[in-house]
Amino acid sequence: MTGEHFEMLKAHDRARHGRSLNTIVDFTLQGTADPYVAGLYYTRIELGTPPRPFYVQIDTGSDILWVNCKPCNACPLTSGLGVALNFFDPRGSSTASPLSCIDSKCVSSNQISESVCTTDRYCGYSFEYGDGSGTLGYYVSDEFDYNQYVNQYVTNNASAKITFGCSYNQSGDLTKPDRAVDGIFGFGQNDLSVVSQLNSQGLAPKIFSHCLEGADPGGGILVLGEITEPGMVYTPIVPSQPHYNLNLQGIAVNGQQLSIDPQVFATTNTRGTIIDCGTTLAYLAEEAYEPFVNTIIAAVSQSTQPFMLKGNPCFLTVHSIDEIFPSVTLYFEGAPMDLKPKDYLIQQLSPDSSPVWCIGWQKSGQQATDSSKMTILGDLVLKDKVFVYDLENQRIGWTSFDCSSTVNVSTDSGESKSFDTAKLNNNGSPPSRTLKELAINLCYCFLFLMSSIL
């Protein structure tokens, strides 16, 4: 083999094994927006050496990835979601190393959490979420294993050293087993988010997308890359904010603009509109909630009358909700978001099993005491749409979409690759290939090798 041939083979290996943005990092999702089934979306990741699996909730409302660690106080041991829970043990991974208090990444973590030094001089953290739950832990650096998709059937195994949280204490809803997972996968803009860390190492673009399936059994896809589908509209991200704040300018019901002062949605220290896939429902600022609910009630008054159920306006109807409930449009800067009734209604069952639909949008302040003026759009609104978070150009885009079907993802080279979310296994791996497919791939690899040598 000549030196030229040898270099060709090495170049081929480098292209296959990573460090190339022409491949796509994919996370297959499980879960659903339905609060009576799951009320969250989660994915399977692998950490450490040897790699161990963990199920983590995806969350665009926070920044870091953290998982429960051994030992852990008040961490659930079982999950009503039917997944086996794990505990990360830094001593059981040959490549794990705790982050010290003097590390520059520890200094960066001060921007997103209350950073403290543990008795072992490790970089600790304390997070409190909007629902009042909280977690304590320290940062660890270790291997993060993932799949790079060449197409929907061919993948390359890859890994990267990242910093993530090792939590040893939980409080609030994080202690409950009904919707328990191993941790939270934050997709915020901070330098410690996995998106930022992989991008800084040249392993992923500074853009990610998700498509959350609303219909049973739920699921969906999240990719580090740009899902490109017709009809995408974009609006700028409000700069210098800890969350994905957007400029919401008004709300219309059946095409009629509601009489709401636009300043209700303006971004300040206490106001603003946030896109957050870690929130199940949607929350409207107090001044917008009553006009919205009253207009919906008036629009359906000829077909059904409301009644209160657990504090929410509900409706008993045998008709299709699309026939009697109005459409809603959220007007963002330069980009409307058209919503169907299923994007603001939640189905419940009455004592006699008749279908009951309740307004799922809540008045802000019911989630946390300091958020009465915030508008938060959670999974109830985000489902059944492609969302693209273009962090490079500081904008977010969306379009309505069937998230159980094939999505097209663009690479940095401009190439578009298709992924059929229905054909991906629940564990996030590509489907098993048949013997015929394996034989074809082996032949291809053999022919490529021979052509490189000859």
| CATH number for the domain that contains residue 382 | 2.40.70.10
- 105 belongs to a structural domain: yes
- 253 belongs to a structural domain: yes
Q: Return the C-alpha torsion angle 310, 313, 316, 319, nearest 10.
A: -140
- 428 belongs to a structural domain: no
Rounded alpha-carbon distances, angstroms, from residue 124 to 59, 104, 107, 358, 401? 21, 13, 11, 42, 41
- 218 belongs to a structural domain: no
Same domain, 280 and 198: no
Q: pLDDT by residue (tens digit) across 74-86?
A: 999 999 999 999 9
Same domain, 298 and 343: yes
Mean pLDDT over each residue of the chain, to the nearest integer? 85
Q: What is the pLDDT of residue 121?
A: 83
Q: Which of 40-44, 60-64, 340-344, 431-435 has the lowest mean pLDDT?
A: 431-435
pLDDT at 114 over 90: no
* Domain membership of residue 264 as a residue range: 230-400
Q: Tell me which of 363, 379, 400 is where a domain ends.
A: 400
| Domain count for the chain | 2
Give the mean model confidence (pLDDT) for residues 287-312. 94
Same domain, 379 and 251: yes
**Could you give the CA distance from residue 12 to residue 6 in angstroms, rounded to a whole number?**
10
Look up residue 10 and give its two tokens: 């090495």
Spatial contact of 96 and 109, defined as CB atoms under 8 Å apart: no
Same domain, 308 and 393: yes
Q: What is the DSSP letter of 190?
A: S
Q: What is the pLDDT of residue 231?
A: 95
Length of the chain: 454
Catalytic positions: 59, 276
Neighbours of 104 (CB within 10 A): 9
Same domain, 46 and 155: yes
Identify the burial level of 102 via C-beta atoms within 10 angstroms of its C-beta, where 0-12 means exposed, 13-18 middle and 19 or more buried: exposed
Q: pLDDT by residue (tens digit) across 134-162?
A: 999 999 999 999 887 765 555 678 899 99
